[in-house]
């Protein structure tokens, strides 16, 4: 038979199935088991489609998921516009009431958050005020201690300082004072210079008597 010759010449596994016009079955298989050859043929022929089937299903599932996400995105955009007071025409009474309740709930949440934030700020300011009061109290105590220490200082410490100041000024005044020098040489004769000096002194004294009252002399 040609099938047998083909299997021998090509060293191949050949399986042949023939149906006559009367419905009779004729088959040939180069191996001992026709069923194994048919299973092998089925794997080679339909295995590619079965392998590609999950990829097609994944593509279809991804497309369906994309459509769902797109629809949800459109709903969110429409809801956002409704919250902003836009595109309210297509809404009915029930939808408008629901939108109003949602806006009131959002407004209450915003007010609650704002109030809590202000309370936190107030508590922070109160803590800072308390710290400043404590620091002020500590400074006041230190000032009182310094004042008490100064009030308890002995009074003679101040007198000593005054005495030291007076002694310093007295020494300066003594340094400025120059006593009159007298001539220790005894002269028996008439000293013309001394007589002139005495005459000048007497004249000055008379002038002073002329201007100063007597009770002050």
**DSSP line for 41-88:** HHHHHHHHHHHHHHHHHHHHHHHHHHHHHHHHHHHHHHHHHHHTT-S-
Asked if the structure places residue 111 within a domain, the reply is: yes
Report the distance separating Cα 7 and Cα 9, nearest Å: 6
> What does the pLDDT read at residue 19?
77
Beta strands of the chain (E only): which ranges?
A: 15-19, 25-29
Asked if the structure places residue 10 within a domain, the reply is: no
Q: What is the span of the domain harbouring residue 134?
A: 91-150
Per the structure, how many domains does the chain have? 1
> What does the pLDDT read at residue 120?
96
- How far apart, in Å, are the Cα atoms of 40 and each of 4, 9, 17, 74, 98? 19, 21, 15, 51, 65
Per-residue pLDDT of the chain (217 residues; tens, 9 = 90+): 677 777 777 777 888 777 777 777 777 787 877 788 888 877 777 665 555 567 677 778 888 888 888 888 988 988 888 888 888 888 899 989 998 999 999 999 999 999 999 999 999 999 999 999 999 999 999 999 898 888 876 655 555 555 555 454 444 444 444 444 444 444 444 444 444 444 544 444 444 445 455 555 5
Asked if the structure places residue 197 within a domain, the reply is: no
Asked if the structure places residue 198 within a domain, the reply is: no
> What does the pLDDT read at residue 187?
45
> What does the pLDDT read at residue 70?
87
> What does the pLDDT read at residue 173?
46
Asked if the structure places residue 110 within a domain, the reply is: yes
Asked if the structure places residue 37 within a domain, the reply is: no
Sign for the CA dihedral angle at 47, 51, 54, 55 comes to negative
> What does the pLDDT read at residue 17?
79
Asked if the structure places residue 145 within a domain, the reply is: yes
Separation of CA 4 from chain center: 90
Asked if the structure places residue 97 within a domain, the reply is: yes
Beta bridge partners of 28: 16
Asked whether the whole model's pTM tops 0.85, one would answer: no
Side-chain-facing half-sphere of 56: CA atoms under 13 Å:
6
Report the distance separating Cα 131 and Cα 125, nearest Å: 10
> What does the pLDDT read at residue 25?
74
């Amino acid at each position: 038979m040609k099938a047998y010759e083909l299997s021998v010449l090509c060293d191949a596994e050949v399986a042949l199935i023939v149906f006559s016009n009367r419905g009779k079955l004729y088959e040939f298989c180069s191996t001992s088991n026709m069923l194994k050859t048919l299973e092998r043929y089925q794997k080679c022929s339909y295995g590619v489609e079965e392998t590609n089937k999950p990829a097609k299903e994944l593509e279809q599932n991804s497309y369906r998921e994309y459509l769902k996400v797109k629809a949800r995105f459109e709903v969110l955009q429409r809801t956002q516009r409704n919250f902003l007071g836009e595109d309210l025409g297509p809404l009915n009474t029930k939808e408008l009431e629901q939108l109003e309740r949602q806006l009131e709930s959002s407004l209450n949440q915003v007010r609650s958050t704002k109030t809590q934030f202000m309370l936190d700020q107030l508590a922070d300011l109160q803590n800072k005020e308390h710290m400043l009061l404590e620091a002020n109290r500590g400074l006041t105590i230190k000032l009182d201690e310094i004042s008490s220490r100064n009030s308890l200082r002995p009074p003679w410490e101040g007198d000593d300082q005054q005495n030291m100041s007076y002694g310093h000024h007295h020494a300066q005044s003594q340094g400025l004072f120059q006593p009159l020098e007298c001539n220790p040489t005894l002269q028996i004769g008439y000293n013309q210079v001394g007589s002139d000096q005495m005459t000048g002194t007497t004249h000055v004294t008379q002038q002073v008597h002329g201007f100063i009252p007597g009770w002050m002399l």
